Copies of this chain bind each other. A is one copy, B any other.
Amino acid sequence: MKLVEWLAKHVTDDPRALRWFGEAEADDRIARAFQELLAGYEVEPATILKTTRRLEPGERPGVVEVTEIAFYSLCAHHFLPFFGHVDIRYEPGDRILGLGKLPRLDDAYARRFQIQEDLVRDVAHEMMSTGRARGVLVRSRAQHLCMCSRGPSNHTAITHAEFSLGTLAVD
């Protein structure tokens, strides 16, 4: 079964469109591109976060944040990419986490079929459970190609979703 058949049946039978996908390796090439955008399913998020050091008894930690983490995701409704940036802010619980792991955590949840509101929720919960954070605030801003490429009022629009838990919960 080939993508060109789906295209021809559901989207367009214009031969100028279909001719690009007749060749043998077309489906493989496309599949590889989508596999990279869906690589998050291969990762177990609970294993990503690493401890840089344990807090000492009674130690009061400062707040830590990684901002401008780029992400790419696939809209679960339209099979088109959405992408943007995420900021993850947390207050350490019993450990300081490796800073470089926070983008990896975000990547593991983004490279799936997602909706933006669930992406920030999933990351926040993981920071609390396996990251043992006292509090977390995850904010994202994105462009959705299912949205900005359609209709006259949409293509400058920026979508925002945020989620917070624990000591950093926004009421």
Which A residues are within 8 Å of any B CB, using their own CB?
A: 1-3, 5-7, 9-12, 14, 16-17, 20, 27-31, 33-38, 41, 52-53, 61-72, 76-81, 83, 85, 89, 92, 96, 98-100, 102-104, 106-107, 110, 112-113, 115-117, 120-121, 144-164, 170
This protein's copies in its complex: 10
Other contacts beyond A12-B35, A14-B38: 7, CB < 8 A: A1-B6, A3-B6, A17-B113, A52-B117, A68-B158, A99-B147, A103-B154
Whether B3 contacts A33 by the Cβ 8 Å rule is: no
Chain B residue at minimal CB-CB distance from A171: B167
Q: How far is the CB of A109 from chain B (nearest CB, A)?
A: 11
Question: Which of A33, A99, A161 has the most B CB atoms < 10 Å from its CB?
Answer: A99
Instruction: Determine the chain B residues whose CB is within 8 A of the CB of A16 once the complex forms.
Output: 41, 112-113
Beta-carbon contact of B1 and A1 below 8 Å = yes
Contacts of A96 in B (CB 8 A): 115, 117
A38 touches which of B17, B106, B152, B157 (Cβ 8 Å): B17
A82's nearest neighbour on chain B, judged by CB, is B99
In the bound complex, residues from chain B placing their C-beta under 8 Å from that of A41 are 12, 14, 16-17
Q: What's the minimum C-beta distance from A8 to chain B, rounded to whole angstroms?
A: 10
A11 and B3 alpha carbons, distance in the complex (Å) = 11
The residue from B14, B30, B66, B83 contacting A160, defined by CB atoms under 8 A apart? B66
Q: Do A144 and B100 touch (CB < 8 A)? A: yes
The verdict on A62 contacting B161 (CB below 8 Å), with A17-B41, A36-B149, A78-B29 known, is yes
